[in-house]
Amino acid sequence: MLYDWCSSGDDRYIYRYSVDGRFTKLFACPEFTGSYLGYDGEHLYLSQWYKHRILKFDGRGNIISQINVGTEICGHTFADGLLYVVLGKERPDEDWQIARLDPCDEAPMIEDLATVPFAARSLTFDGELFWSYYRARDTTIAFTVPS
């Protein structure tokens, strides 16, 4: 199954997409806001860019935990059981960092890894490389992060 969020006007919902091409509405994003969606193999995680947090959901759409990161979030993904996040500020200069944390920790510690030298949007991991969209150049960039 694939999951996605969809905007209806200014309201956002979580949908399940099945291999037969059907979308099923599961639940509304809290406060109808959400920016990026991730899946750790068991739970959905939704980042809320301007609320500076990542929410973890159970299978019914109930929030079971919240990770406050203290700044804007413009992407997140899972790699090797850890959550990697693009954090920073969009304005005035697109100042972004890649950080990681262990979402299983009761109070996850955010570990800054590297500066992102471009206006990043979104983040994914293919098992070997991280990928992000470089908006100003309309291109996707692959990279590794320091271990």
Task: Examine residue 49 and state whether it is found in any structural domain, yes or no.
Answer: yes
pLDDT of residue 31: 85
CB 61 within 8 A of CB 14: yes
E runs forming strands in the chain: 2-8, 11-17, 23-28, 36-39, 44-48, 53-57, 63-68, 72-79, 82-89, 95-101, 111-116, 120-125, 130-134, 139-143
CATH number at residue 75: 2.130.10.10
Model confidence, pTM: 0.87
* Residue 1 confidence (pLDDT): 45
Per-residue pLDDT of the chain (147 residues; tens, 9 = 90+): 455 545 555 678 888 888 998 988 888 888 888 889 999 989 999 999 999 999 999 988 899 999 999 999 999 999 999 999 999 999 998 899 999 999 999 889 999 999 999 999 999 999 999 999 998 899 999 999 887
What strands, in cross-sheet order, belong to the sheet with 53-57? 36-39, 44-48, 53-57, 63-68
Number of domain units in the chain: 1
Whether 133 maps to a domain, the answer reads yes
CA 138 to chain centre: 20
In a domain, 5, yes or no: no
List C-alpha distances in Å: 106 to 8, 39, 43, 100, 119. Answer: 34, 19, 16, 15, 31
